[in-house]
Structure 1
């Protein structure tokens, strides 16, 4: 069954990706150090890839619902918020203390991939 909340979250994340990417390319290019601009673009890139992954799993779930898919989606959404969100705030707000949060977001992103692998591995033959 499609998760309405996850589709809404993915759509909002897509909006943030486009806005942040444009903001980084136009408004921040001359104001941030090259290193901070690279960190900002890393946040956008990771958010973009994981937003696409959320949408792909939602589509897959619509065809073949498996245990673990919703958990993977939740881990990715939380991971994006912590990983990309902390990097955005670190670069834009100077909140260097948030650097401690970033690895936890990365671990949630990786955990989502492991849960997805487990979910696919546990799929029964002929269930697709």
Structure 2
């Protein structure tokens, strides 16, 4: 938290010189927002690192273990894992630019994270274990992904209209 003090001071100066929506937050709220967003950037970066590692593991370590069907499921899990890890970083950037509301960004990020765990996680497990009922979990993750992107669209449209 101490390492955020210079950023808060900079944000404080920016608040005095421009009309920034975060300026209305108390200083503790601004620190919490920046700290929270910092963690989401880390979560998105971690998701991407894990996607690359699991993709490499699938390409090199599982080549002989997985049949064609299992390999295609695993590849789909890695693809969606990677795309939505990038999506997490994109939402963080959009939130940093204050184009969407802070609560909206957090809801979107939680939905993306839930989608990663449910969608990609169930596909990874299905490919590795061949337990068919795991496929029933996958649509819940897909639904979380869709909900996240629809919520982002809503937040962007809501903030693009002038507030009166």
Question: TM-score with structure 2 length normalisation?
Answer: 0.72
Q: Give 1 or 2: higher helix fraction.
A: 2
- Which of the residues 75, 80, 85 maps onto 1:51? 85
Structure 2 gap segments, 5+ residues each: 1-32
CA RMSD of aligned residues (A): 1.7
Higher relative contact order (CA 8 A, sep 6+): 1
* Structure 1: distance between partners of 2:87 and 2:132: 29
Alignment of 1:10-21 (within 5 A): 10-21=44-55
* Structure 1: distance between partners of 2:134 and 2:117: 12
* Structure 2: distance between partners of 1:108 and 1:54: 13
Structure with max Cα Rg:
2
Structure 1 gap segments, 5+ residues each: none
In the other structure, the counterpart of 1:74 is 110
In the other structure, the counterpart of 2:148 is 112
| Cα drift, residue 30 of structure 1 | 2.1
| Cα drift, residue 125 of structure 1 | 4.5
Question: TM-score with structure 1 length normalisation?
Answer: 0.90
Describe the SS at the equivalent of 1:29.
coil
Size of the aligned set, in residue pairs, is 127
- Which of the residues 32, 35, 47 maps onto 2:69? 35
